Structure 1
């Protein structure tokens, strides 16, 4: 499911036409280039949200407007895929740490435990200082609905699940400055994450 706007040593060209759009949880790639085609054909965007970050500051959808961002869904007590995902996300953070046009959002899937203080300690334990990487917590129902129906985090398998079904996914979701989904990657695989970094570079050329 990975597509590249780079080929060997070729320069990036028209990132908006080379990276697909994803309008449904099946993650069927749609390659569109004309603005009118995109406007008419890509109706899905990340929906509004209001959550607290690790500093107990309210973060909402306005933070991602006009900005490329990557979403992940983790929990601080996870002993399986989450530590690897955070470590891989650090590669993304380091690649764009001085670029406020690129942000990272890590949503807690156990918000009843992951308070802002817990998330802050978690961030510090990984020595993450990137101001554009937020660890978010809030109501479970809001986070789960956002993950499944806005980010398609579990693809079509999880789209219709409700908040009583535990959410656990290795996916990283790439969203462009117009809040449209442009990629899905396995956050435990270094190769996938390197592709994610390359795709972010592509999208940056459209800003």
Structure 2
């Protein structure tokens, strides 16, 4: 191989390597979700009006198990995971809480990861009941908030901001009982980046990996 051929070969290898890196970056990037049907949007896609990342979790204000007010400012600049439970639930919620406990333990020393468990029966789950539930489930992570408040506010936030019930999020009567097994991953700018079945161990493992990806992501 001549000198010029060798140089051309090096340039070709470099170009191919950069192309492969570009593909890897796109495949590793977590998508964004703007709509309740959870159509993924990647920033590396060709820009279009439909692909603007406009959706954010709306401002909120609820009370946690310690009687402290938690708002959108409590998660500002932080990653958070949201789910929806009720303390009297005897089948699904204990599984979800156990899985959230696993996430809590893995990020116990990380103040930039917050867990929000909203009660869907806030008329029952007042602060004292949430305190009992926290003790019962050994929830002592200061970054894990069990939240109560007005039913209408929680249901509206769940359906219209978190898309907790997917494509019915905008149309379902806000008074109808909210039931979802989803964990929703939200980034530091309150944008939805992932949805997971909170009853499945493999999906919780994926959630943990995606949290790590968000922590490494340049905003």
TM-score, with normalisation over the residues of structure 2?
0.83
Answer with 1 or 2: which has the greater Rg: 2
Q: Which residue of 2 aligns with 1:66?
A: 77
For 1:15 and 1:69, how far apart are their aligned partners in 2? 23
Q: Which residue of 2 aligns with 1:95?
A: 106
Runs of 5+ consecutive residues of structure 2 not aligned to the other structure: 1-23
The number of residue pairs the alignment matches comes to 193
**Whole-angstrom distance in 1 between the partners of 2:40 and 2:27:** 13
1:17, CA displacement in angstroms?
Answer: 6.2
The match for 2:179 among 168, 192, 196 is 168
How big is each residue's C-alpha offset from its partner over 1:2-54, in whole Å with a ceiling of 9 and x where there is no partner?
Answer: xxxxxxxxxxx7589610000000000111149x889x711000000110111
> What is the rounded CA distance, in whole Å, between the counterparts of 2:28 and 2:43 in structure 1?
6
Check whether the contact 2:33–2:40 (CA below 8 A) recurs between aligned residues: yes
- Structure 1 residue runs of 4+, over 6 Å off? none
Compare 49-58 and 180-189 and name the one that shifted more.
49-58
Q: Is 1:77 aligned to 2:88, yes or no? A: yes
Report what 2:155 is aligned to.
144
How far apart in 2 are the matches of 1:115 and 1:174?
25
- Pick aligned residue for 2:64 from 47, 53, 71: 53
CA distance in structure 1 between the partners assigned to 2:27 and 2:59 by the alignment: 24
Paired with 1:174 and 1:37, the residues of 2 have a C-alpha distance of 24
Q: Secondary structure at the match of 1:197?
A: helix
- After TM superposition, the structure 1 stretch with the greater mean CA deviation from structure 2, 152-161 or 167-176, is 152-161
Unaligned runs of 5+ in 1: 1-12
What residue in structure 2 maps to residue 131 of structure 1?
A: 142
Distance 2:59 2:173 in 1: 18
Cα deviation for residue 206 of structure 1 reads 2.3
1: CA distance, partners of 2:134 / 2:26: 32
TM-score by length of 1: 0.88
